[in-house]
Amino acid sequence: MTSPESSLLVRMNTIKQTDLKKHLTPSQEDALKEIRQYRKNGEPFINLHGPRNSGKTFLCWALREYGWKYQQADFQRVTEPDVTAVVYDHGKPDRSTTRQLRNNVDLSGLSNVVYVTRSPAKEVYPRVQISTDEQHYKRIAANWDSLGIDTATFPAVDTTVNTNTTTNQNQ
C-alpha cells in the first residue's frame, strides 16, 4: 500500500485541489473538446488513449467537472440514479476487457463511458488520443512548478514512450 506521505500521492492530491481546466495542456484541451463532442453526439463509448505520463488521468479528473464519475478500471456497477457518464481509467485495450465493459455499462444503464488506455482499444470505439511532444511536457512541468510540486521527478519526454523502431509499435 502506498504511504499517504509518498511523493506520488502528495503530488496527485495537490493537483486534484486546483482548478483543473486552467492547467490543461493544449493537447488535453483538444481531447476534452473531442470527448464532449462525442458525448453531445450520443456516442456511448469513447476510448481516450495516450502514452504513459501524458496526462490522461489528469484529463479524467477534469471530466468530473462536466458530470462524469471517475473510477479506476475495475468495472464497479454504478447504482446512483443520477450518474449517466463514467470514466474508467487505467484500462486494458484487449477485446475481452472492452466487451466486459460493454456488459457492465448495459447493466448499469449508463449513456456515456470514457475508457482510458495507453494504446488504442481493440474494440471499435471513437478514439481520442492525447498527443504528446516536448511542448506538452514543458507545459505540464510549468504547471507543476506553479503549484509548488517538485519537478525533479517529472518524467522526461524520451522516457514516456518506449518505441520499437523496427515495428514502430509501443512496447
CA distance 69 to 86: 5
Q: Which of 1-15, 100-114, 143-157 has the lowest mean pLDDT?
A: 1-15
In tens, the pLDDT along 47-97 reads 999 998 898 988 998 998 888 888 876 667 677 778 888 888 988 999 998
Using an 8 Å Cβ cutoff, are 159 and 145 in contact? no
* Sequence spans of domains, the chain: 7-170
Bridging pattern class, strands 112-117 and 169-170: unpaired
For 7-170, the fitting CATH number among 1.20.1050, 1.10.3470, 2.60.40, 3.40.50 is 3.40.50
Neighbours of 45 (CB within 10 A): 19
Tell me what pLDDT residue 158 has. 45
Q: What is the pTM of this model?
A: 0.79
- Between CA 55 and CA 57, with CA 56 as vertex, the angle to 5 degrees is 95
pLDDT digits (tens, 9 = 90+) for 113-142: 999 999 999 987 899 999 898 898 888 888
> What are the residues whose beta carbons fall under 8 Å from the beta carbon of 128, sequence distance 6 or more?
31, 34, 35, 38, 46, 47, 48, 49
